[in-house]
A and B are shown apart, each in its own frame.
Chain A
Amino acid sequence: MPEEWLIIATSWVMWLIGFITAGNALIQTLLFYRVARRVGEKIKMKPEILKEGLRAALITSIGPCMGIFVGMVTLVIALGGAVAFIRESAGVGSIMFELISARIGAEAAGVKLTREDMTLLGLCLCLWTMAVGSVEWVIVGGVLTRWLPKLRDAMGGGDPKLIGLISVAMMLGAFGRMLVRDDVIPTILAMSIRPTLIAGIIGIIVTVIWIKFAEKLKKPWLKEYFMLLALLIGMIITQLLVNAGVVK
């Protein structure tokens, strides 16, 4: 007979809460979708451009979703499928945030974040910490977003070229940081080549070759596969090198 906390954590009510959580996010996206499609056509964007954007997004999201799928295993094992579904379908945090907050909750209850060690108090505190640690993002996003376009307009001064340039610069800033933090710094600190550096370099090479190739052929739709290719090739080659003992 499973323990009481596990019976509650995997009960039909918890699954229902999962569907309510995911459902609210779906309602939001459906409302947004209607507006975006209608206004997109009204400002005379070609329907096939909108369709192409959607297609590219679906194909590109396969890779990150595979990562989320595999990453969820720890959460499912620790707290059961229903809680993992509530938190990952639309719970703001990334897997990393969920694991950190679950661990903090478990620690406050004096237990470890494992199925054997978990208790009812531990479950209460895990769920509590996940909620109080992430609700602020939803409130800040929900309330603050309406004021943010003013900030961007102030920076770009209404010049579309400059606003485009600023967006590119911001993206390079955000992802330059990710690239350095996860891929480059571990190698610098360890003074030996780490697998993450290899993966990052492969990601760069595959992307440059593929995008240049698509542009040369004048087939922009080919670009929609670059991210999927980059991460698959990056994962496979890096893992082969790790297995062969070339990098550790």
Chain B
Amino acid sequence: MTEEEKYFGMSPLPLEEKKKVMDKEYYPKIHLYGMITSLIHALIIFLPVIYLAALGYFPPWDKAILAFINIASVVAPYWIIEPISYFGILGVTGTYIAFLAGNISNMRLPVSAVAQEVAGVREGSYEGEIVGGLAIIASQWMLTIISFLAAIIVTGVIALLPPAAVEAFDWLLPSIWGAIFAQFSLRNIKLAMIAFPLALVVVYLGVKAIIPAYLEIPIMVFGMAAIAIACYRKKILK
């Protein structure tokens, strides 16, 4: 398949002209809206706690601080590592939504990747930013409906399903990991053949606690980026 056939969704405009429009009309607006809605969300997240406090129920500070330390010890490194590591894939719009509404690896990344593949746009391009962004927007609409439905009816639905059908959902994410890895292996099989053994080593070291588990994501994501850059410069990859 030729480059042109593969990336049939790219705009015919010269790169410079696209850049001008994006820099003037896209990024400033997305950053403005993204920052305002995110900071508002940072307050909204505390509404349940504020509501309980208004009713006169607030946990004693020693217990509240203990709970904070315990959750921070599990997730704190990811607060910084995830936005930086996933940005290159999520794009600007996708990053704002993903870090406001979650479900990154199980939904945002796959949805954005499939949409870009179907629309025939190059990853990391301006067109990729727009199609990936629209995809993640659509996934949030779907999530809103589904999470509302689940909140009302999930216990009833689960009771109706045979246990084997419920158990089958344990294999949903493992299937997605295989599917997305395969999709990108088809894009570049050489890089895939580096990524898989590298992941085996890195995850093994993480599981055995030889390296902290939170380092797995940045080592894999930036390690692979560095390998791609080196191979491209040495003309091993094109």
When distances are taken between beta carbons in the complex, the residues of chain B under 8 Å from A199 are 171, 174-175, 178
Check B199–A180 contact: CB distance below 8 A: yes
Provide the bound-state CA to CA distance between A20 and B50, in Å: 14
CB within 8 A of B123: which of A167, A204, A220? Answer: A167
CB <8 Å contact, A57 and B171: no
How many positions in chain A have a CB within 8 Å of any CB in the partner chain? 165
Which residue of the partner chain, among A84, A107, A172, contacts B185 with CB atoms under 8 Å?
A172
State the CA gap A174–B149 with chains docked (Å).
30
Bound state CA distance, A72 and B88, in angstroms?
A: 29
The answer to whether B74 touches A100, judged by C-beta atoms less than 8 angstroms apart, is: yes
Q: Min CB distance, B24 to chain A, in Å? A: 9
Are the C-beta atoms of B155 and A77 separated by less than 8 Å? yes
Q: Are B107 and A61 in contact (CB under 8 A)?
A: yes
**A121 smallest CB distance to B (angstroms):** 6
* Chain A proximity mask over B45-65: 1 for CB below 8 Å, otherwise 0: 111110110010111000110
Q: Which one, B25, B113, B117, contacts A42 given CB within 8 A? A: B25
> In whole angstroms, what is the CA distance A183 to B33 when docked?
38
Q: Name, among B48, B119, B127, B217, the residue most crowded by chain A CB atoms within 10 Å (CB to CB).
A: B48
Which residues of A are found within 8 Å of B144, using beta-carbon distances?
A: 22, 25-26, 89-90
Interface pair B97/A175, CB less than 8 Å apart: no
Q: Which of the residues A32, A89, A161, A189 comes within 8 Å of B238, measured between beta carbons? A: A161
Q: Closest A-chain residue to B53, C-beta based?
A: A124
Q: Which of A34-72 contact B (CB under 8 A)?
A: 35-40, 42-46, 49-50, 52-58, 60-72
Docked-complex contact B51 and A17, CB < 8 angstroms: yes
A216-237 CB mask vs B (1 if < 8 Å, else 0) is 0000110110110011011110
A177–B220 Cα distance when bound, in Å, is 7
Main secondary structure of the interface of B (DSSP, over half): helix
A53 to chain B, nearest CB (A): 4
Interface size in chain B (residues, C-beta < 8 A): 171
Q: A115–B47 Cα gap in the complex (Å)?
A: 22
B41 to chain A minimum Cβ distance, whole angstroms, is 5
Residues A32 and B33 in contact, CB atoms below 8 Å apart: yes
Q: Given A179-B178, A179-B199, A200-B175: A134 and B89 within 8 A (CB)?
A: no
Indicate which residue in B126, B168, B225 contacts A169 across the interface (CB closer than 8 Å): B225
Decide if B52 touches A69 in the complex (CB within 8 Å).
Answer: no
Q: What are the residues of chain B within 8 A of A125 when measuring CB–CB? A: 59, 63-64, 67
Partner of B11, one of A8, A25, A45, A165: A45
Pairwise interchain contact A36-B93, C-beta atoms closer than 8 A: yes
Across the interface, do A182 and B173 meet the contact criterion of CB distance under 8 Å?
Answer: yes
A183 to B102, CA, bound (A): 22
Q: Known: A138-B100, A174-B89. Is A61-B139 also a contact (CB below 8 A)?
A: yes
Q: Which residue of B lies closest to A172 (CB)?
A: B195
B64 to chain A, nearest CB (A): 6
Can you offer 23 A-B residue contacts whose CB atoms are under 8 A? Answer: A25-B100, A25-B101, A29-B140, A32-B133, A38-B25, A52-B119, A53-B116, A57-B111, A57-B139, A85-B150, A92-B101, A140-B79, A145-B96, A165-B188, A167-B88, A173-B198, A176-B224, A178-B180, A199-B171, A204-B185, A207-B182, A208-B182, A220-B120
